[in-house]
C-alpha cells in the first residue's frame, strides 16, 4: 500500500483504493489523483497493485536469505573439510590456499545475499510513502547580518589597518612567508630512495661467500641437510654501508635431493639440488633461521611464519604474505657458486611490492 503526502495535506488509506483501482485498469498507475499538484505524480510499484508480483518479490527475498544460510553452512563445512596446506590453482589468482578460497567465497556469498535480500525487500515490498519536509532558510535574519557587518567595520576602524599601511603590508608579508619554513624542512626527509629498495648487492657473476668463513662457496661445501648463510662477494663487514646492504642481500643456502624439489622454477634456479633463498622474512623482515632438515621447512623465530624450501619457499603457516624470494645460482668455470643476477622480486616485507 502506498500513499503520497504533500506539505499541507495527508492522504488517508481509505482514499487509496480508488486511485489504485484506476491505476490497475491502466496497467501501471502513472499518477495519483490525491497528489499535491506541486509535486511530480507518484508512480506506484508493480508490487503495490499486483499481488502476484508482490508474492514473486517475497519469494526472491526468501531465496536470497536461504542462499545466505546455505553459504554460512558451507563456510563452516569448508573450515572442517579443507586441510590448511592444500593449494589449488585458480585463474587469474594463481596458486591459492583452498581453505582461504572456500572461506572467502562462502562468507562473501552469505553476506552479499543478506544485503541483496534486504535491499530487494526495501525496494519492492516495504512502505513506498513519499514525504516532503520544508527546508528552513539557511541565511541569518537581516538584523543579525547588519550587526555582524557593523561590528566588523568598527573593529577594522579601531585597528587602524587601513590608515597604517606599513603595518598592514608587513603583516601580510609575515603571514604569507611563515609556511615556507615548513616547506624547507621537507629537505630533511632525505633523498628519495628511488628504486634502491628494490635491488640488492647481488648481480650476475657475484660469488656466494660464506658469511662465517668469508670464503667463496663451492657446491661440495654444502652438505645435504645443512643450512649455510652467504653474502655477495665484495661486501665486507668494515664497509660503511655493510649493515644496510646485508639487510637486503643476506642469503640462506640448503642442499636438497633434486627429486624432492616440487617447484619447477626452483629446480631451474638451483644447482645439483643447492637452492638459495633470501634470509629476510617477508612478514616484517626478521632473519629466517630455523631449518628442519626432514621436512625442508624453515621457520621465522619472530612470529612463526613457516616456509617450504622444497616448494618455492611458499608460506605454510604464519603471517608472512609471500614466499621467500629465490636467487638464481649456478657454478662458474672455476667451480664456485655464483649468482645469475639479482633477486627477481623485492626481498623482505611485502610492503615494497605495493609501492
Ligand atoms: S617477521 Fe617473520 S613471521 Fe614475522
DSSP code for 152? H
**What is residue 83's predicted lDDT score, i.e. its pLDDT?**
86
Question: What separation in Å is there between the alpha carbon of 282 and the centre of ligand 1?
Answer: 7
Q: pLDDT category, 350, cuts 50, 70, 90?
A: low
Atom of ligand 1 nearest to the CA of 304: 3
Residue 269 has pLDDT above 80, yes or no: yes
Instruction: For residue 232, count other CB atoms closer than 10 A to its CB.
Output: 22
Q: 224 pairs with which residues across the strands? A: 255
Residue 175 has pLDDT above 90, yes or no: yes
Question: What separation in Å is there between the alpha carbon of 289 and the centre of ligand 1?
Answer: 11
Does 210 lie in the same domain as 102? no
Question: What separation in Å is there between the alpha carbon of 215 and the centre of ligand 1?
Answer: 29
Give the dihedral sign, CA 33/36/42/44: negative
Q: What percentage of the chain carries pLDDT values higher than 90?
A: 51
For the chain, the average pLDDT equals 84
Does 204 lie in the same domain as 336? yes
Read off the pLDDT of residues 209-240 as tens digits, 9 standing for 90 and up.
Answer: 999 899 999 999 998 888 999 999 998 888 87
Residue 3 has pLDDT above 60, yes or no: no
Give the dihedral sign, CA 90/96/99/103: negative
Does residue 4 fall inside a structural domain? no
Does residue 139 fall inside a structural domain? no
Among 24-38, 128-142, 332-346, the range with the most confident prediction by mean pLDDT is 332-346
Nearest CA to ligand 1 atom 3: 303
Domain containing residue 312: CATH number: 2.102.10.10
Does residue 262 fall inside a structural domain? yes
Does 249 lie in the same domain as 338? yes
Does residue 132 fall inside a structural domain? no
Does 287 lie in the same domain as 235? yes
Cell numbers for 220, please give them.
661440495
User: Which range marks the domain in which residue 91 is found?
Assistant: 13-124
Give the whole-angstrom CA distance, residue 181 versus residue 177: 8
Give the whole-angstrom CA distance, residue 71 versus residue 80: 14
Residue 4 has pLDDT above 60, yes or no: no
Q: pLDDT category, 353, cuts 50, 70, 90?
A: low
Pocket flag, ligand 1, residue 302 (CB < 6 Å): yes
Read off the pLDDT of residues 72-115 as tens digits, 9 standing for 90 and up.
Answer: 999 999 988 988 778 888 888 878 889 889 999 999 999 999 99
Does 119 lie in the same domain as 172? no
Identify the weakest region by mean pLDDT among 17-26, 128-137, 303-312. Answer: 17-26
**What is residue 5's predicted lDDT score, i.e. its pLDDT?**
40
Asked if residues 289 and 301 have their Cβ atoms less than 8 Å apart, the reply is: yes
**What is residue 166's predicted lDDT score, i.e. its pLDDT?**
85
**What is residue 355's predicted lDDT score, i.e. its pLDDT?**
46
Does 284 lie in the same domain as 152? no
Does 205 lie in the same domain as 97? no
Residue whose C-alpha is closest to residue 296's, from 228, 229, 223, 225: 225
Does 27 lie in the same domain as 88? yes
Pocket flag, ligand 1, residue 286 (CB < 6 Å): yes
**What is residue 305's predicted lDDT score, i.e. its pLDDT?**
94
Does 208 lie in the same domain as 166? no
Does residue 342 fall inside a structural domain? yes
Does 68 lie in the same domain as 155? no
Question: What separation in Å is there between the alpha carbon of 70 and the centre of ligand 1?
Answer: 37
Q: Find the angle CA(263)-CA(267)-CA(268) to the nearest 5 degrees.
A: 120
Pocket flag, ligand 1, residue 350 (CB < 6 Å): no
Does 115 lie in the same domain as 25? yes
Asked if residues 132 and 125 have their Cβ atoms less than 8 Å apart, the reply is: no
| Interacting residues of 349 by C-beta distance below 8 A, sequence separation 6+ | 281, 282, 283, 284, 285
Pocket flag, ligand 1, residue 271 (CB < 6 Å): no
Pocket flag, ligand 1, residue 290 (CB < 6 Å): no
Pocket flag, ligand 1, residue 3 (CB < 6 Å): no
Does residue 172 fall inside a structural domain? yes
Atom of ligand 1 nearest to the CA of 288: 2
Read off the pLDDT of residues 301-333 as tens digits, 9 standing for 90 and up.
Answer: 999 999 999 999 999 999 998 899 999 999 999
Does residue 5 fall inside a structural domain? no
Pocket flag, ligand 1, residue 300 (CB < 6 Å): yes
Give the whole-angstrom CA distance, residue 81 versus residue 6: 59
**What is residue 86's predicted lDDT score, i.e. its pLDDT?**
83
Does 327 lie in the same domain as 236? yes
CA distances from 281 to 148, 276, 318, 323 (A): 64, 14, 11, 9
Does residue 20 fall inside a structural domain? yes
| Total number of domains constituting the chain | 3
| Interacting residues of 59 by C-beta distance below 8 A, sequence separation 6+ | none
Pocket flag, ligand 1, residue 41 (CB < 6 Å): no
Question: What separation in Å is there between the alpha carbon of 309 and the centre of ligand 1?
Answer: 16
Phi, psi of 316 (to 5 degrees): -95, -30
Amino acid at each position: 500500500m502506498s500513499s503520497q503526502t504533500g506539505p499541507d495535506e495527508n492522504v488517508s488509506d481509505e482514499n487509496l483504493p480508488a486511485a489504485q483501482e484506476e491505476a490497475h485498469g491502466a496497467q501501471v498507475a502513472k499518477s495519483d489523483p490525491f497528489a499535491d499538484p506541486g509535486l511530480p505524480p507518484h508512480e506506484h510499484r508493480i508490487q503495490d497493485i499486483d499481488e502476484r508480483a508482490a508474492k514473486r518479490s517475497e519469494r526472491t527475498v526468501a531465496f536470497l536469505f536461504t542462499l545466505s544460510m546455505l553459504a554460512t553452512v558451507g563456510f563452516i563445512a569448508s573450515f572442517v573439510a579443507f586441510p590448511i596446506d592444500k593449494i589449488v590453482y585458480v585463474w587469474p589468482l594463481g596458486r591459492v590456499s583452498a581453505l582461504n578460497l572456500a572461506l572467502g567465497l562462502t562468507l562473501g556469498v552469505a553476506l552479499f545475499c543478506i544485503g541483496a535480500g534486504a535491499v530487494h525487500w526495501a525496494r519492492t515490498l516495504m512502505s513506498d510513502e513519499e514525504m516532503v519536509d520544508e527546508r528552513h532558510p539557511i541565511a541569518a535574519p537581516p538584523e543579525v547580518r547588519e550587526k555582524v557587518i557593523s561590528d566588523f567595520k568598527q573593529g577594522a576602524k579601531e585597528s587602524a589597518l587601513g590608515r597604517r599601511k606599513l603595518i598592514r603590508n608587513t603583516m601580510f608579508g609575515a603571514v604569507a612567508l611563515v609556511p615556507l619554513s615548513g616547506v624547507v624542512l621537507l629537505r630533511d626527509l632525505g633523498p628519495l630512495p628511488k628504486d634502491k629498495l628494490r635491488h640488492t648487492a647481488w648481480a650476475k657473476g657475484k660469488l656466494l661467500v660464506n658469511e662465517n668463513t668469508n670464503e667463496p662457496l663451492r657446491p661440495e661445501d654444502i652438505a645435504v641437510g645443512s643450512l649455510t648463510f652467504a653474502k655477495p662477494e665484495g661486501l665486507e663487514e668494515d664497509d660503511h654501508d655493510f649493515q644496510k646492504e646485508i639487510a637486503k642481500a643476506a642469503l640462506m643456502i640448503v642442499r636438497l635431493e633434486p627429486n624432492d624439489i616440487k617447484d619447477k622454477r626452483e629446480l631451474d634456479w638451483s644447482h645439483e639440488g643447492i637452492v638459495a633463498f633470501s634470509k629476510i622474512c617477508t612478514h616484517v623482515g626478521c632473519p629466517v633461521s630455523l631449518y628442519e632438515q626432514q621436512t625442508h621447512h624453515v621457520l621465522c623465530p619472530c612470529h612463526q611464519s613457516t616456509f617450504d624450501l622444497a616448494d618455492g619457499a611458499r608460506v605454510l603457516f604464519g603471517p608472512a604474505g609471500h614466499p621467500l624470494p629465490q636467487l638464481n645460482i649456478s657454478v662458474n668455470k672455476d667451480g664456485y657458486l655464483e649468482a645469475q643476477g639479482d633477486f627477481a622480486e623485492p626481498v623482505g616485507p611485502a610492503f615494497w611490492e605495493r609501492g
